[in-house]
Amino acid sequence: MAAAAKLALSHSITKSPSLCSFSKFTADSRGFSVRANACLDAVKQPMSTDLVSLEYADLNLPPADVGHVRIRQHVNPLSSSFSAPAPVPDWKEVFRDPTLPLMVDIGCGSGRFLVWLAKRNPDSGNYLGLEIRKKLVKRAESWVKDLALTNAHFIFANAAVSFRHLVVSYPGPLTLVSILCPDPHFKKRHHKRRVVQQPLVASILDSLVPGGKVFLQSDVLDVALDMRNQFDAESIVMQHIDEVDSSLPCDSDGWLLSNPMGIRTEREIHAESEGGTIYRRLYQKRTT
C-alpha cells in the first residue's frame, strides 16, 4: 500500500446472489434445464456487487449505505442545467490541511474509490471528487462525515466547466488527476459529450505541478483510445510512465498492465468479473 500512496500523492511535487425463483421456469424440460444450470452458475460465482463489497470491506460502510441510488446513468454534460460553474469551497473548512498535495478524480461516481484512498492515506494528501450526479455526491459526502475523514471532499460539478477554477483556487499542489471509466457516450453524435475534450486536457496540463500524474482508465477500447490520443498528443509536456518507471510495465500496445492505485474502482471490478479488459494509461508531467 505504501507504493500506492507514493504514486497517488508523493509527486510534489500520488449483495449475495439471490436464489432463483423456480416458479418463473417454463414447463418445457429443456428450458427448465437451461435456466436451472444458469441458476446454479449464479450461485457458484459471486456477483460483481459481492466482489465490490469484499474489496471495499475495510471501509465498514453499513449495507444500507452502499445500496443502489436511483440516478440517471447517462447525463448530458452539455445541458444548460450543468453549465454553471461549481462554487469554490472554503478549502480550510473541507480539508484539515489545504496545503497538502491534491488528487482530483473527475467523474468519481459513487466515490468509494476516493474514500478508500483518503482513509488509507490520512496525512499524505487530500482527495477531491467531481461528479455530475448530485445524489452520488450527497451520499459520498455522508460517507466522509461518517468516517470522520478530514482529507476527502466531493463536489457536484461538471468538470468541463468547473475543473480549472476549482483547482486554481486550491492552496496546495495538484499532483494527480484521474479519469476512470467515464461515460462512453457510444453514439458518434454524442462523442462531444465525453468528458475528455481538448479544453479539459489543457486545464489539467496547466494545473499539474511538474512530476504530477494523469491516470486514465476505461473498459471500452474506443473511449480509452480517445483519451489516450489526446494525451499522447501532449508529449512535449507529458510522458507515459513506462518512459520513466520500469516498475510499471505495459503490454505490447502500451496499456498499463495493472492498476497502480492499490485498489480497483467499482466499474473496474464489475468489468473484470464479466471477463472484460481494462485499458489504462498513466502520464507524468515533465519536470524540464
As given in the structure block, the three cell numbers for residue 202 are 489543457
Mean pLDDT of the chain: 83
Q: Is the pTM of this model over 0.75?
A: yes
Q: By the 8 A CB rule, do 138 and 159 touch?
A: no
Spot the catalytic one: 105, 183, 219, 226. 183
206 is a catalytic site residue: no
Structural domains of the chain, ranges and CATH numbers in brackets? 2-18+46-285 (3.40.50.150)
Lowest-confidence segment of 32-41, 79-88, 213-222, 261-270 by average pLDDT: 32-41
Strands (DSSP E) along 63-146, which ranges? 102-106, 126-131
Beta bridge partners of 177: 104, 214
Q: By the 8 A CB rule, do 110 and 219 touch?
A: no
Q: Give pLDDT, residue 38.
A: 39
Alpha-carbon distance values, 270 to 56, 106, 111, 158 (Å) = 13, 19, 15, 25
In this predicted model, what pLDDT tens digit does every residue of 135-159 receive, in sequence order?
A: 999 999 999 999 999 999 999 999 9
Q: By the 8 A CB rule, do 152 and 124 touch?
A: no
Q: Give pLDDT, residue 12.
A: 38
SS3 content of the chain, % helix, strand, coil (to 5): 40, 15, 40
